[in-house]
Structures are given as C-alpha cells and as structure tokens.
Amino acid sequence: MPERVVQAMSQPLIDHRGPQFAALLSKVTSGLKEIFKTVGGRILLFPGSGTGAWECCIVNTLSPGEKVLGCVNGHFSDLFCKTATAHGIDVERLEVEYGAGVPAERIEERLRRDRDRHIKAVLLVQTETSTGVTSDLAEIRKAIDAVSHPALLLADVVSSLGCSDLRFDDWKVDVALTAPQKGLMLPPGMALLAASERALEANRSAKCARSFWDWRPVLESNAAGYFPYTPATALLFGLSESLKILSEEGLENVFHRHARLAEACRRAVTAMRLNLFAKNSAQYSNTLTAVAMPEGLDSDTFIDHTLKLVDLPLGKGLGKVKGKLFRIGHLGSLNELEILGVLAGIEMALESFGVKIPLGAGLAAAESYLLETAKKRSPL
Amino acid sequence: MPERVVQAMSQPLIDHRGPQFAALLSKVTSGLKEIFKTVGGRILLFPGSGTGAWECCIVNTLSPGEKVLGCVNGHFSDLFCKTATAHGIDVERLEVEYGAGVPAERIEERLRRDRDRHIKAVLLVQTETSTGVTSDLAEIRKAIDAVSHPALLLADVVSSLGCSDLRFDDWKVDVALTAPQKGLMLPPGMALLAASERALEANRSAKCARSFWDWRPVLESNAAGYFPYTPATALLFGLSESLKILSEEGLENVFHRHARLAEACRRAVTAMRLNLFAKNSAQYSNTLTAVAMPEGLDSDTFIDHTLKLVDLPLGKGLGKVKGKLFRIGHLGSLNELEILGVLAGIEMALESFGVKIPLGAGLAAAESYLLETAKKRSPL
Amino acid sequence: MPERVVQAMSQPLIDHRGPQFAALLSKVTSGLKEIFKTVGGRILLFPGSGTGAWECCIVNTLSPGEKVLGCVNGHFSDLFCKTATAHGIDVERLEVEYGAGVPAERIEERLRRDRDRHIKAVLLVQTETSTGVTSDLAEIRKAIDAVSHPALLLADVVSSLGCSDLRFDDWKVDVALTAPQKGLMLPPGMALLAASERALEANRSAKCARSFWDWRPVLESNAAGYFPYTPATALLFGLSESLKILSEEGLENVFHRHARLAEACRRAVTAMRLNLFAKNSAQYSNTLTAVAMPEGLDSDTFIDHTLKLVDLPLGKGLGKVKGKLFRIGHLGSLNELEILGVLAGIEMALESFGVKIPLGAGLAAAESYLLETAKKRSPL
Amino acid sequence: MPERVVQAMSQPLIDHRGPQFAALLSKVTSGLKEIFKTVGGRILLFPGSGTGAWECCIVNTLSPGEKVLGCVNGHFSDLFCKTATAHGIDVERLEVEYGAGVPAERIEERLRRDRDRHIKAVLLVQTETSTGVTSDLAEIRKAIDAVSHPALLLADVVSSLGCSDLRFDDWKVDVALTAPQKGLMLPPGMALLAASERALEANRSAKCARSFWDWRPVLESNAAGYFPYTPATALLFGLSESLKILSEEGLENVFHRHARLAEACRRAVTAMRLNLFAKNSAQYSNTLTAVAMPEGLDSDTFIDHTLKLVDLPLGKGLGKVKGKLFRIGHLGSLNELEILGVLAGIEMALESFGVKIPLGAGLAAAESYLLETAKKRSPL
C-alpha cells in the first residue's frame, strides 16, 4: 500500500450522515467512473469482499431458475459460477483449459444456438488470478453482438481494474465487479460494482431474495449523499486517495507501467529457462505472472522454500493447478527496483532448490528490457 | 476510537493465509467469546456491517415461508424484521410502544398460543439505539422457557455488546449479532456473530439461498486458521487490540463505567428539567440516552443548532420518532471530563435555543453523582 | 496535537538535500514570518528545545563580559538569565514580583541611567508560563525608544507565539525565540528563532564560542535550500501543517479564540471563589491561567488528587511558587467543550479536596460568557 | 524506517514529568547501554543532531586553549575537528589519506612524543561516512595504552553504532557520540552520547562555556526520571522500539546481517569492474560502500542520472572527494531483496551512463555469495 493511502485511512472518522461524507462519496464515485471508463454506469459500494461482489452481482440481476453461461478457465471463475448456483441459478459451464483465455468464438457459437434466448447472462473473469491470463473482453462483446444476443455481460474485474484496460461503456459490460486490494492499492474490505442501465433494468425484475446487497436502497440513499448501512469510511478515505494517485499518474501511464514491469518479469522468467503458465502471449496478464513449475517439482514446496530463504511470498497454485505453478504479483505501486529484487530472489530460490539456472541471466534480461524501454521514454 | 486501536489498525498487512494470521484469528475469536460470555458458541466474522449481520443471521437459520415472531420497539428492530421479510420469512410483528422494552410476558403469551410450534424464532434488539431502551434478555429467555417453546432466540446486540451485560450461554441466546463501531470501539466494516449449537443445527436445514454469508465454509476454513474470502485484516488487528483494552479494564468494570457515566448523564438531563424518552428506569440504556424534546420544539432543528453552536453532534430521532428526541452517546472510551463537556454543551445549546434552564444545574447534578460514586470506589 | 499534524509528521522522510526539502523549508519559513509578523526578520530553525533556543539567542548576539538587563518575573525568565550567565554574560537582574508583568517604566528608568550604553540587551519572557502573566512588549519597546537606548530586545515567546499577539517588526524585537510544543501544536524537539537585521549585525561581532548554534552556516545553507546539519524533517512536515491550520483559521481568529476560552476559564475560576495568580487583568495570559491555591492548602497535593480523581493533569507551581498555585492550559487546538470538561473536573476535584465551592457555579459562569460572546459572533 | 518504529513514534505524547516517562527513560537508557556495550558508562540524550553531539562532547570535556589530536580521514572527521576549533580548542590535525583508516601507529608515535602530556584528547570518527572506511578502535586503544598516555578517547560512532561492533568499556572509549538516523533506524532529531567515568571527571574541570549541552543538570534530573529541558518524547518512543527490534534480532546477528549484505554489495561492485574507494579490505565499512567513479566520469552527474532513471538516491562525494565517488548505504532494516534491487538499479544506471559492464554480472556475484552464506546458516 502506498504511504499516502495509509495516511488517508487513518484520518479521524467523519459523520456518515453529514455533508463532508456526501462530498467524499461524490468524489469517490466520479473517480471510480473514470477508472471503469463509464459515463452512464452506476457505481455501487458495499462493505464486503470480492466474494461478496459476486453474490451482489448475481442476486441483483437474476432470478432463481434462470439460465446463465458461466465461463470457467481458472479457480476464481469456477467460484463465481458456484456463487450463482448457490442462489438457484442454472449455470451452464463453458469449460476452458486452465492457462487459456475465454474464447470469444465458443461464446458466440453457444449463444447462436440459444434461439429462444434462455441464456440471461454471460459470467466471466477478465483476469484469472489463478493462471495469469487476461481474456479479451472487447472480442467477447463483439461475439455477443455478432449474434445479437441480449444476455447480460457480468464480469469479475478484481485483478484487472486499475492494472489493465477496462472499457465499461465501449464494451457494453453490464456489471463489472471488483475488490479494493489489487489495482486500487487498498486493504480488503469492500465490494465495488459498476452497473449498466440494462443491469438496473434487470434488477427491477430479478427475484433472488436480497436485503443487504440490494441495489435500490443504496442508489436511493447515495443520491442523497449517504448509505442505508454504516459505510466503511476509512476505506472510502483510502479509496479517494488511491484514485487521486491513479489520476495523477494517468490511467494509461499506469497501464503502461504495469505492462512494462510485467514484460520485464516474463523476459526474466524465460531467461531463467522456465515456462509461463499462460498459453497465449496475447493473453498475458499485466497484473501477475504464473510460472509453470518444472516437471517433477512441487511448487508448494518451492514457495515455502522461497519464503524461508529470502522472505519472499509467492502465490500458490489454486484448485486444479495446485503444486503446478507459482505466481509473481507485479501490481499496484510496485517499482522497477522492487520487481528486480523479487526476480533476484527467485533466481536464488531456484538455484538452491536444485533448478539449474545461470545466476544473473534473468536479471540481465529484465534490466536490458527495462533500459531499452526507458530509453524510448526519455533520452538521458 | 482509542489511539491504541488506530495504531493497531495501521500495522502493515500480513498474509491472510499464513501462520501469523491464524494466530490473530485465534486470539480474536477467544477474546470475543469472553465478551459474548460463551464457551460453546461459535464466532463468525464477515466483512460487512450490522445490516449485513441481520441478513447473515436470517439466511443461515431460516427457510423461506417459515414463521418468526419479530419484536418491534424502535427503528432498528423494525429494520431487522424487514430483512427477514425480504428473504421470504413470514414475520409476525409484536409491536411495542417506542420507548418501552420488549415485554417478556407478551412473548410468553404468544408462544403459549403457538401450540403447533410454527414459530421458528424470536427476533429482537437488546438495546434499541433509536430510543435508548435496553430490553431484559434474561426475562425473555425465562418467558420462552416457561412455555418450553423451541423457538430460536435471535438477538441484535449491536449497541449493547461491550457496554452492558450479555450472557450468551446463560441466557441461551442462539444468535447474537453485532458490528464493531460501538462497544468494540472500531471503525465500521464488519459483521460479527455468535451462534449456538442449536443455531448451527438450524443452519444445516435452513433453505434460504446463501453464498457469501454461508456459515459452513467459514467455520471449516476458520478451523484451519483462515477465511474463504479475503478478510478485512486491518479491522482484525484493531479488534484484537480493542479486546485487549476491554480485557485489561475488566468487562464488569467496563459495564460499571458505562453505567456510571450513563446515570450521570440522566441526572444532568433531569436537572435540566427535560424528560428521558425511555419509559422505564429498569430499561435505561447504558450506551446512549434518548431525551424527549420539549413539546412544540423540533429536535432536528435543535440538533442542527447544537452542531453549529458548540460543534457537538447529537443523534437524531429515527423513523417514527423523527423530530421528537435527541440522543446522547456515552459509549466506548468516553471519559468523565468528555461527558461533562458534552453536558455543558447541551446546556448552552438549550439555553440559546430558547429552552429555559438553569445554566450549570445539569452539570452540578452530574458532578455530584460522579463524586459520590467516585468516593465509594476509592477514598481519597 | 491536531490529527492533521500527527498525519503530516508520519509521512515518509524525504532527502534533506533534495528539491522537495528546499520547497518545504521555504514554505515553513514564510509561514513562520507571518506568525512572527515580520517581513525583514530571518527565521532560524534548529533541532533542540526552548532551552536550546535561549542558548542559541545568547551565543549568537553577545560576547563574554558584556552586560545585559535580565527581567525576572517567573521561573522561566530566571532560567533564561541563568543561561546568559553560563556563557559569561554579565546579567543585571531586574527582579519583579511573581504574578506581575515586566514593568516598562523600570526598564526605561534603568536604561536612562545607562549613559555609557553598557547594557547590550534586554532579556525578557513575553508570557511567563509559571505565573500566567503576559507582559506588554509594545510598552517595553516604547520605554526603550523613549531613552533612545540601543540595547537589543531579546524575547522568549515560547508560550505566547500563536496564542496572543506578537509584532516582531512593529515592536522592533531583535530576537524572538520559541519552541514548537505550545501555540504551534507540535511535539517538542526544535528551537525556532526570528532575528532582526540588528541581531544579525550583532552576530557578526559576538564572541561567544559557538558551532552547532551558529547562525551563519544555517543562513548560508538555508539560502540554498538545506541545512548544515541533519534537520528534524518530521517536525518540519508537522510545522508546515500547523502553520497551514493557523493560516486557515486566521491568526487574529486564533488569538480571539484563545482570548475567549481564557476569559471563560477565568470567569469560572472566579465563580468558584478562587483567586487568579496574575495581579493585573491587563496582563492575563490567554495561553494559560494560574490559580492561587487557597491559604493553607498545598497545590502539589491538590494536583496529584485531581490527576487521580478525574485523570486531569494540571500544571504545578515552579520554583519560588511551588505548592502555591495550579495552572490550567488553554492553548492550541482546545475547543469549548474540552475546556468546559476541564472546568467541571476542577470543580469536582476542589469539592472532594475539601474546598467548599458551589458545584456548577463555575460552569454556569463559563457557559454564560461563552453564550454571550457566541451570540455576538453569529445570531442563531 | 521500520513500520514498528513509525507506529511507536505516533503514540500520543505522555507527560514528560510523570512516572510513565521515567519508565521510558530508564528502558531507553539501559537498552542503549547494551548497544554501546557499557556497564559503567553514562548515557546522555539531547534534542539535536550528530553535529550537536560533536559540540556536546567538546564543551563538556575540554577547556579553551587545551590541545587535542584530531584524526582527519574524511569529511566528517574534518568537521568534528573544526567544531573543537570553534570552541577555542587547539587542534593538532593528524591528516590521513581519504580512503584509509586512522593509523594506530601514527597515533602511538605522536602520543609517545607528547612527553608533557599536553594532548588532552584524541578525536576520531569510527566509520567515515564519506569514504566507507571503518577504523580499528581496538588497535587505537592499544596504541594509546602502549605509551600509557592519559588522553581521552572521543569517538564519533554515528555511522557505526548498531551496524558494526563498538565496545565502549573494553576499548575504554571516553565519549562515543551518535545520532539516531543510522543504525538506530529513527528519524533525525537527537544527539546521543555515552560518557566514561574519566569523561565525567574531565567534565568537572572543563571550562568551555555551556548551558544547553551541560551534562550535569541532565545527569541529575535523569536520576529522578526526567529532563531539564522538554525532551523529544516521540523520538524516545521510537528509540525504545528500535532498541527492542535490535535486541530481538540480537546485536551480533545484526552485525552479521550488515556484514553479509555489505560483502554481497562489494562483490557485486567488483563484478561490475568498479573499484571500492576504501583502500584496505580490513577497513571496509559494513554500513555503506563508497565506489570510486571510473576515471573521467563525474559521480555527481552519475548520481543525478541514477535518480532520474530508476528513482534510486545514491550518496554523493563530500568535500575533497566531490565528484569522485558514489555511496551505497546498506544499513538499518534493509533486507536481501532490497539490496539486490539496488544493485540491479546501479547496473542499469552504469550501462546507460556509458560504463561498459556485463549486465547481470554484479547480481550473479551478489546472489552467489548470499546463497553460499545462506547455506552455511541453515541447510534447506
């Protein structure tokens, strides 16, 4: 977390029914709209988590018994679909190999066959944190439009928002849901959603039982500058500051910075003679890189070893890919020297774990790429 | 908020899957059990709010179509019941005059008539924040037992936990639900519940759709030291510290301190020739005091006046009692000089609002009572 | 300390040789000039304390063996003079009764007799913290001018700066020295001085040995935006914020607020039938009020009693007035309700200490005065 | 700064005349004694800086006109000697080539010639921050003892205390002076000294004028648990925490960690085909490494380039070595990944500055050394 965010969060709390709060809410809402790239979308904030955001999305837009197409290409998309099932939704799973993105053409094909328009929504995760894969939402939108299917597009953008591009309006996303602890550089504790006009319309007829997550009272009281529940004011202070930080750097610059560090990381990994878990270079995530563990070695053991050796916490393989990969995060306010330090630590950990690698080779590749791209930016 | 809590909350976050986190969770859980006075009860924590805690309680213990007895004696008990209704529960409202506590004898009478045991639960709020009334949970338990009725006892203890007595085990409460921003002296952002063995049993057959609030995955992963969702770690750090503060002072001492400041406040109010809104002295809340606005005057206007005059935010009348009362909070880490300052501010505000009061009379009454009780505690 | 200051101080440190630091220094310097009300005066900052500021003032403007007139009307002016003596200065003490201000006419009389202009400087303390007396610097300047004496005017403004008026340029003060922990609302840890053109001139010939406190290297490196020693950057961050707070409120408003709370405090003390220690109402300090302990009672014992009874720390009698008075501070960001709470605590402490007072009478007097002056400010 | 220290420093201030403060002072004093490795030495704390600590040391132990032997092997030892000169001390400068340590044999030779024992003290700096050289204090003590010379040993340990070994008692140091912003991991704002029995004796006859820095009132009031001036309480809170951190890790482990990171840094520098500025491997500092700039290149320009390229602030060459070297700090709470990141940044900066280096070679050397020494510590 940036120190500025920590500071903002430790401000004395303000009355959540007073005029200062209304101003804070208004600032946060308009800042989020810029990040989501939406003009007409409505922002909805709840104390909660990404898991809560899934439930909030489902119960507000769907009715028990309705059919949806759930795209499953990793651990988190699997759980998103299971949340829908728990609320009585009939989820048809579009299973995709882990490591691949959601294929627009398969969505198109399935929707084309749905002549009676039974499928009410398409559920997917933009960046699968478990595999380091970012699916192409623009293409998916085109696929849906190609068959003029009215299904809502419900997207988890937890690991992508604020790190790589999301165009809520242009891509006609209906609900984009996220949590604050990734690209927004905050501690966890909230569910954040953007909802389209069509999503709000669906909300009016959706029959899933709801009370806490219900959008209507939130939208009504937000219009008056407050919340129907006691909001997590400290997080809103922090959010206001992190949006300011993103805005000061410029969103496209933030994306470019993530993309540059991610590519440096991937070049280093390749120079260490390891394989990326993501299959397709067009789908590499700029938020995190999943690295396939060499055959015969268990990544969980390697991750424990790395933590002990150099106090570096890597992400584990989740669900079906447990033991098969480790994940390097390169999001938020991470800078060049920090990612280089992380890569050096991974070299040390691999070497001492028995993976034969040329020490320094990964670093040289990353440094070389960073220098090359730095030179392009500003001649020294 | 005590500075110690602010400090604890601004610690660097820890990995919510690591051993440090498991230790934190274990400390928080056992500390909360002491506050709830339970040995066998299970603690359940969610990112959320008190509003979320209502939903969490309902969807985990009940099924759509089931009947409950909802005791309504203020704004918050009204909303608790409406949450149940939103989830398809058939709520029979036991309406009580605002300002009165929930009458044990009426519950007993109603349950006695429920020969077929259709009523699955009794819903109530221990301390109604909107009226400053604390109902007698021990008596209500006796009433239920008197007719050997199996209804679950589901109690909102948001404004009472950590301020006045709650005996989860002794009073056989089935679910006690709360939020962190009152007696626990934290910022908002969580839902906290204690659940009895019978509540867990009800959970197994409850048919309300649920996913985020579902107790089962939480209990399972808590047993292993983590959460099925990203927890609000900063709040858990703060909670650990506030539990330590309560434990250092001693829970009975905390109650005694609240009771003493509350009584000083009530004596001051009476000496100002105003009336308490709570009808029955045995039901005065030690968390807050609701003061009836003199006939012909609007309390909302008076509250605005007080804020402008002495920068003192008083609580407004909510729902049915809007404009009719103002509320003085005396909870958490408030000390004697702070409550005396508040009372002096109220004297000033009343005088300048045109209510004829003898300046200083309220203060004299409060000081006199505080001195009297101070002398009892430690001869000087 | 205001929370904004605490926040500002916990910012990550910046390079004290970089451009950000130069900007911070420039902001702090120009902000302080406004507080000192000087255009041509030079600001000098050192890690240190008020005690250090005395030494800094002496060694930079005087030479061993030179004569000064030291006005002693309390504990702190006594120590200021002793600092001069320690550095070989020949201090002629102008002794004044504790509780009285420095009499301009006695200074005038003494300087008039100094035909050969042996007296190089007049040393005094604007507000004597030990007695709650503020001397009239404007009158003292007139007295010096009346006899056209060239003595430097060296003034300790520790307890007055930012609380009551100081006009460095208008009153031709040569050195005004202070510390950050009073009107500037910071933690201790600095010596702050303003020096006139004449003081800088004296500096060039002053022969007291000096190195750390030497003004010359500080002025030279400050001109380039840095310090010759490692500065206390966190305090400078805090100072920048506290100057901003003072500027936002407006310096005259700050003085008015202090004067109003001080008068409320004095009225309450009088209504409690106690006597103020300061002799002359024109010299009452707006920073603190010293209250004479009733005959036969020891103020140290009373202060211990008050701390135990209501956790309120009062200031003790220092030096010659030990045991004879207690001091109530009403400076910095204190507000109305806080001072009223303090006064209520003093009523309780007096009553239980055996001083017969009408409980509530002091409060009534304070409330009444505050209401009266509030009404003048803004009709409700 | 470690987050724990930041937290400790933002605690609410306590009364600096109360019992809590006395306990804090006692804890800090005994903790510092362990760091200085002294039993009988007295700890003296002042608001100030390292520059202030020089003055404090001089004025408390010497008299104007007395002769001392000042060892000058860098920028800071030069300034230490100049401080003595400013207070009228007759400093005989023992000039040593920058990059070399203070030669014990030359001290011995000079003191041997001082038959009449005119030399009252030897002044030196243990670790010269300007050159990255640590002199051998144990050898210097032997040299003084070899000729049974009574000169006091006055040592600046600003950049060594808490990073490499200092044995105040064993090496019979008379004054060791430091500041908090290096090995003690605090923000600047204090002068800290340890004084031997002989130094205290010298204090009784020392004739330098002094008041603020005078040891006597400090020792007297410290004995009663307070200070004669307003102490920088926040720094004392921070100091208490940083001493706790050092004690938890164990002082010898702290030294070992610094030595290990320093050696990794030196190996990397050598693998980058650059030269260390320190002449003698036995005198390499474990706190910082000074790197000679390749012939024909200006280090100030390189340092600016590095800051712009990778946001890494390197230390400049000071005084006589301006433009000739850059300095890498590796002190305090720095960890392995951080120093590796720094080294990677230096590789990038050198390459793009036109210094031909094999990218990754420095990193490989550092990683290799760290792995080797990690393996020795704990088999994985």
ipTM for the whole complex: 0.93
The two three-digit tokens of residue C279, written as one number:
């002799």
- Our CA dihedral for C174, C177, C183, C188, rounded to 10 degrees, sits at 170
State the best of B7, B14, B241, B335 to mutate against chain D, taking most chain D CBs within 10 Å.
Answer: B7
The answer, yes or no, to whether residue A270 has pLDDT greater than 90, is yes
Asked if C84 and C57 count as a contact pair (C-beta separation under 8 A), the reply is no
- C332: alpha, beta or left? (left if phi > 0; alpha if psi -120 to 50): left
The answer, yes or no, to whether residue B377 has pLDDT greater than 70, is no
Give the phi and the psi of residue A181 in degrees, each rounded to 5: -90, 10
Which residue, D188, D113, D186, is CA-closest to D151? D113
How far from A328 is each of B26, D118, D184, CA to CA, in Å?
29, 66, 33
State the best of B14, B45, B49, B130 to mutate against chain A, taking most chain A CBs within 10 Å.
Answer: B49
D-chain CB neighbours of A373 within 8 Å are: none
Distance of alpha carbon B178 from alpha carbon B160, whole angstroms: 9
> What is the least distance, in Å, from the CA of B15 to any CA of chain D?
16
> What is the least distance, in Å, from the CA of D10 to any CA of chain C?
7
The answer, yes or no, to whether residue B253 has pLDDT greater than 80, is yes
Residue that has been written with the tokens 């390197």 in this structure? D314
**Cβ contacts of C250 within 8 Å, gap of 6 or more:** none
> What is the least distance, in Å, from the CA of B16 to any CA of chain C?
26
pLDDT the model gives residue B376: 54
What is the layout of strands, in order, in the sheet containing B119-125? B42-47, B190-195, B175-178, B152-156, B119-125, B67-72, B90-95
Chain C residue with CA closest to D81: the answer is: C211
State the best of D159, D216, D230, D241 to mutate against chain C, taking most chain C CBs within 10 Å.
Answer: D230
Q: What is the mean pLDDT of residues D341-359?
A: 96
pLDDT the model gives residue D375: 63
Residue D13 to residue C187, Cβ atoms within 8 A: yes
C-chain CB neighbours of B371 within 8 Å are: 348, 351-352
> What is the least distance, in Å, from the CA of D262 to any CA of chain B?
27
Chain C residue with CA closest to B347: the answer is: C367
Residue B363 to residue C359, Cβ atoms within 8 A: yes
Chain D residue with CA closest to B4: the answer is: D11
Nearest-by-Cβ selection for A208 from B188, B209, B234: B209
Nearest-by-Cβ selection for C210 from D18, D48, D86: D86
Asked if D126 and D154 count as a contact pair (C-beta separation under 8 A), the reply is no
Asked if B235 and A189 count as a contact pair (C-beta separation under 8 A), the reply is yes
Q: pLDDT grade, residue B378 (50/70/90)?
A: very low
Q: pLDDT grade, residue D48 (50/70/90)?
A: very high
Q: Which tens digit of pLDDT belongs to each residue from D54-69?
A: 999 999 999 999 999 9
Nearest-by-Cβ selection for B233 from A48, A88, A187: A187
Other Cβ atoms within 10 Å of C11 Cβ, number: 16
Distance of alpha carbon C82 from alpha carbon B226, whole angstroms: 64
Q: Mean pLDDT of all residues in chain A?
A: 95
State the best of D305, D338, D359, D377 to mutate against chain A, taking most chain A CBs within 10 Å.
Answer: D359
State the best of C5, C212, C221, C235 to mutate against chain D, taking most chain D CBs within 10 Å.
Answer: C212
Q: pLDDT grade, residue D378 (50/70/90)?
A: very low
Q: Which tens digit of pLDDT belongs to each residue from B65-115?
A: 999 999 999 999 999 999 999 999 999 999 999 999 999 999 999 999 999
Residue C212 to residue D83, Cβ atoms within 8 A: yes
B-chain CB neighbours of A13 within 8 Å are: 1, 187
B376 or D33, which is more confident? Answer: D33
Residue C7 to residue A12, Cβ atoms within 8 A: no
The answer, yes or no, to whether residue B380 has pLDDT greater than 80, is no
DSSP assignment of A154-197: EEE-TTTTTTS---TTTTT-SEEEE-TTSTT---S-EEEEEE-H
Residue A86 to residue B1, Cβ atoms within 8 A: no
State the best of A7, A16, A51 to mutate against chain B, taking most chain B CBs within 10 Å.
Answer: A51
> What is the least distance, in Å, from the CA of B37 to any CA of chain A?
26
SS3 category, A221: helix
Question: pTM for the whole thing?
Answer: 0.92
Q: Which chains touch C (3 or more CB pairs under 8 A)?
A: A, B, D
Q: Which residues of B touch D (CB under 8 A)?
A: 3, 7, 10-12
Q: Mean pLDDT of all residues in chain C?
A: 95
What is the layout of strands, in order, in the sheet containing C288-292? C275-276, C288-292, C325-329
Distance of alpha carbon D52 from alpha carbon B220, whole angstroms: 60
Q: What is the mean pLDDT of residues C31-49?
A: 97
pLDDT the model gives residue C50: 96
Q: pLDDT grade, residue C232 (50/70/90)?
A: confident
Q: What is the mean pLDDT of residues A48-52?
A: 95
Q: Which chains touch A (3 or more CB pairs under 8 A)?
A: B, C, D
pLDDT the model gives residue A380: 43
Residue A7 to residue C3, Cβ atoms within 8 A: no
D-chain CB neighbours of A310 within 8 Å are: 336-337
Q: Which residues of A touch D (CB under 8 A)?
A: 305, 308-312, 335-342, 344-345, 347-348, 351-353, 358-368, 370-371, 374-375, 378, 380
Q: Check residue B314 and report its DSSP letter.
A: P
The two three-digit tokens of residue C148, written as one number:
């056209």
Residue D11 to residue B7, Cβ atoms within 8 A: yes
pLDDT the model gives residue B233: 86
Which residue, D217, D198, D82, D79, is CA-closest to D144? D198
> What is the least distance, in Å, from the CA of C354 to any CA of chain A?
40
**Cβ contacts of B212 within 8 Å, gap of 6 or more:** A48, A49, A51, A52, A54, A55, A83, B46, B229
Q: Which tens digit of pLDDT belongs to each residue from A199-253?
A: 999 999 999 999 999 999 999 999 999 998 888 888 999 999 999 999 999 999 9
Chain B residue with CA closest to D4: the answer is: B11
Inter-helix orientation angle C336-352/C251-271, to 10°: 20
pLDDT the model gives residue B332: 83
DSSP assignment of A51-88: HHHHHHHHHHH--TT-EEEEEESSHHHHHHHHHHHHTT
> What is the least distance, in Å, from the CA of C294 to any CA of chain A?
41
Chain C residue with CA closest to A2: the answer is: C12
Q: What is the mean pLDDT of residues C325-338?
A: 93
pLDDT the model gives residue D140: 98
Q: pLDDT grade, residue A365 (50/70/90)?
A: very high
Residue B211 to residue A54, Cβ atoms within 8 A: yes
C-chain CB neighbours of D6 within 8 Å are: 10
> What is the least distance, in Å, from the CA of A340 to any CA of chain D?
5
pLDDT the model gives residue B18: 81
**Please, what's the b/e burial string for D69-102 (b: 16 or more CB within 10 A of its CB; e: otherwise)?**
bbbbbbbbbbbbbebbbbbbbbbebbebebbbbb
